[in-house]
Structure 1
């Protein structure tokens, strides 16, 4: 079975999504989903500005928009502010909407935070800044694991513009939901302080405390550590960023 997925980059304000999907018609649907979800989030923040600025979990109303409720739940799970989950939550909502409207394969990557569902195995490349592991290895996600949707999210203290209080080159979290994985990656990455081995150990200790995640890989410099169940690591030999190396096999 060959999957001829089309690839499109969608940029709307801070959202910078690389989308791989079954057909062109789903690109417009993805764009509309991003616009709608962002508008709901922005309108909520206008009424509740603390949602944007707090680094602590907060309770939200029962009738809050779905994106707000998902972010709040993910932040509570990882004990961080809700905005720590924004990119992964948007990826997750795009994937869910496209699946609802008939696409069978979706890879939605938003700034290193990925929600995907595919009918074949997928290798996702690791991007970890200047670490020698960056671009050299990837994670082989089995089709059985991702058949109901899955989340792979990365936080970095050395790459990108997201807020991190640690210095990890990459904290990669695997979970059934990208919203949960995104908040967890931020939370764990905040503990990457000290020498490489100390930073990794602190991150892994924090990861043990967080529920609803499958596994974590932490990369600091040339060192890496893992906890829980992570997908098989495979050599990629491709100097590609996480967001732009997907091999469907």
Structure 2
């Protein structure tokens, strides 16, 4: 989950959009430790910075000129909601959906309510989903990574490395996302590292779902539910009952648990 930080002007403080071409196979970005070993196998890739969002977009087509429009639009939508709804930015619990909300915000609020978290728990997934809905028709392969939360669309299987600070599993976990499960969202949350707020102590909770909004909200709730190793089985048993969730992965101390379409690479 990525965080939109509060300011006196809502999110109107840092509004310079930059789109930087990433060249070469190796992506090496000092600011994003979870990206330091990402392999760029697509023909095109860009690092996009706008307000408090830092997004890595990869594609098999040159869609650079199309990125600005949907990203600015979703920020405009979020900005209006934050200004008009005082509880939208900081609430840790669901808020009431108003008829006047744009459809993407209604979905964001509905998914956060389904998992009993605040709407901003799904903000990175919402940004990804909105931008992807505009870009995906122009390419066959689209990967959007936003604060460690990922939207993926491809016609072939994709491998994703999982970053966790836990020394028992650090640099040891990689997952394969099967093409038949795409497009989908793969989102994570942690109570022991990163800038996301969590009520739990899970080293890492990962959710695979058809919607990136669902995956983001669910990952926050999943991480909230785990404070010790013994919590993992019960949490997986609970969250696997949600129809939209297709895969779960949880790490705490020396224990790891997984369910569904989570496929480990050897």
Report the TM-score, using the length of structure 2 for normalisation.
Answer: 0.79
Shift of residue 221, structure 1, vs aligned partner: 2.4
Matched, 1:230 2:266: no
In structure 1, distance between residues paired with 2:65 and 2:231: 42
Shift of residue 230, structure 1, vs aligned partner: 2.5
- Which position in structure 2 is the counterpart of 1:238? none
In structure 1, distance between residues paired with 2:42 and 2:93: 43
Shift of residue 129, structure 1, vs aligned partner: 1.9
The runs of at least 4 consecutive aligned structure 1 residues that moved more than 6 Å come to none
In structure 1, distance between residues paired with 2:253 and 2:261: 20
Give secondary structure in 2 for the equivalent of 1:87.
helix
- Which position in structure 2 is the counterpart of 1:216? 248
Shift of residue 199, structure 1, vs aligned partner: 3.4
Shift of residue 136, structure 1, vs aligned partner: 1.7
Shift of residue 130, structure 1, vs aligned partner: 2.8
- Which position in structure 2 is the counterpart of 1:19? 57
- Which position in structure 2 is the counterpart of 1:30? 67
1:180-199 equivalences in 2 (<5 Å): 180-194=214-228, 197-199=229-231
2:143 to 107, 118, 127: 107
1:91-240 equivalences in 2 (<5 Å): 91-100=128-137, 102-146=138-182, 149-194=183-228, 197-208=229-240, 210-227=242-259, 229-235=260-266
Contact 2:42–2:58 (8 Å) recurs in 1? no
5+ residue gaps, structure 1? 236-249
What CA deviation, in whole Å up to 9, does each residue of 1:164-218 have, x standing for no partner?
Answer: 0111111000110010010000001012213xx2232353244245442112100
In structure 2, distance between residues paired with 1:42 and 1:220: 36
Shift of residue 31, structure 1, vs aligned partner: 3.1
What CA deviation, in whole Å up to 9, does each residue of 1:127-179 have, x standing for no partner?
Answer: 11234323222111111221xx1110001112211110111111000110010
What CA deviation, in whole Å up to 9, does each residue of 1:95-120 have, x standing for no partner?
Answer: 111013x2111000101111110111
Once superposed, what is the RMSD of the aligned Cα atoms?
1.8
Q: Which moved more, 1:52-61 or 1:77-86?
A: 52-61
5+ residue gaps, structure 2? 1-40
Report the TM-score, using the length of structure 1 for normalisation.
Answer: 0.84
Give secondary structure in 1 for the equivalent of 2:214.
helix
Q: Which moved more, 1:210-219 or 1:109-118?
A: 210-219
What CA deviation, in whole Å up to 9, does each residue of 1:71-93 have, x standing for no partner?
Answer: 11210221111110000111111
Q: Which has the higher contact order (CA 8 A, sep 6+)?
A: 1
Name the CA shift for 1:49/1:60 in 2 (closer, same or farther; >3 Å).
Answer: same
1:7 to 35, 45, 67: 45
Larger proportion of helix: 1
In structure 1, distance between residues paired with 2:235 and 2:54: 27
Give secondary structure in 1 for the equivalent of 2:145.
strand
In structure 2, distance between residues paired with 1:198 and 1:178: 28
In structure 1, distance between residues paired with 2:82 and 2:252: 34
